[in-house]
Structure 1
């Protein structure tokens, strides 16, 4: 490549950046025609979704290789006759306000548009693998609120969801039994989404009825990490 070609490429790149900046400014200041706004927004949404997917996949690959709790849970699932690979974790955009989900037929869903850091994705992967572990070891009936509540208590407690930094980020501050309070709160929210749950009172009763025994059961961990 000659110096002239290199300069021409830099010039084209600068022109594209200027065009993109101009369009972004027009969009943000509402100076685009309605049809142009719609088209530009669709373009932005597509670029954001592509970026989120690539970020989720990159974090997933790294965590499967290097995260101690993720690798530990993968080893424990293998011991229970449920070997999994990175392909069992599916990155996808989600409409609901959640970071992930577990489906016995598919595996673990990672909501790429809800994961705000690699640490958040790590917690989500471990949380959902606790559900997978419970399903494999205890044959959970997910439509039974007490079964569901027990797995949610264990996943919230063991998956790192209720660590001090995570709770601070949500605006919850306490130095006495904060972990237990967080586990109960998050378990209730999850049980509320169960089609068998008719009210918040049903969710709270289900969580309360299993909390002590399920919170104390840290399998396959020796303790809450």
Structure 2
């Protein structure tokens, strides 16, 4: 039988061993966390899993922010509220469910489909203002579709709506053009509208043949640029 001194020594040793085990586990967890934070020291399989996890976390974060900004803009943006009201007057009911946040490639920040509504490219927005401009741009397309019964396979129809959307949404604002690397002292807004409209029309599979986008935008530009409906003037 152990005497009291031996029992005390055994207890002390056992407690010390447990403390060492806990410290080792903490250190292992810390090392593992550090590897996943920095990406250093991972095996190829671990790195692939790490990248997949990070991509999913980033996508979820971007989607959450996109939806948050969408809801705030629908509630408080004068331009978005104005477009919502006028789209309804044109015969189309729209709510936040018609604005879908999804990741996109680098060629766009938004899109409009008569079947599915408005696409907001959650991974492309530089700011809340950028998202607001994109929402208004796509809402001009929706307004045109409701009011004028646009045929999106008709390159002239598409070109006219792209001219109006680029002009009225704020997409061709002076500071945005400077960030893109474009600057002129005269007719900068018109130059931007033409360039942006041509770029968008050329992505339409019905208008992608060489020269068609340029010709159709040039043909409709004067009349469509002057048409600021539903705004009284260029926003």
With normalisation by structure 2, the TM-score equals 0.85
The partner residue of 1:156 within 151, 166, 179 is 166
How far apart are 1:20 and its partner, in Å?
Answer: 3.7
What is aligned with 1:4?
none
Task: List gaps (5 residues or longer) in structure 2.
Answer: 1-27
Does 2:218 correspond to 1:208? yes
Offset at residue 35 of structure 1 (A): 0.8
Note the residue ranges of structure 1 that are not aligned, 5 or more in a row: 1-14
**For 1:157-176, what aligned pairs fall within 5 Å after superposition?**
157-176=167-186
The CA RMSD measured in Å over matched residues stands at 2.0
1:23 aligned to which of 25, 36, 57: 36
Q: Deviations over 1:47-86 (max 9, x none)?
A: 0000000000000010000000000000001111112111
| Structure 1 position 46 matched with structure 2 position 59 | no
Measure, in 2, the Cα distance between the counterparts of 1:209 and 1:17: 65
Secondary structure at 2:234 match in 1: coil
- Aligned residue for 1:66? 76
- How many residues are treated as equivalent by the alignment? 211
Per the alignment, residue 9 of structure 2 pairs with none
Which ranges of 4 or more aligned residues in structure 1 deviate by more than 3 Å?
15-22
Alignment partners' CA distance in 1, 2:29 and 2:230: 54
* Cα deviation, residue 96, structure 1: 5.0
Residue deviations 1:85-123 (CA, integer Å, cap 9, x gap): 111101111135201100111111101011121001000
Does the C-alpha gap of structure 1 residues 41 and 198 become closer, same or farther in structure 2, counting only changes over 3 Å? Answer: same
What TM-score do you get using the length of structure 1 for normalisation? 0.88
**Of 141, 147, 159, the match for 2:151:** 141
CA gap 1:43/1:220 in 2 versus in 1, 3 angstroms: same
Structure of greater Rg:
2
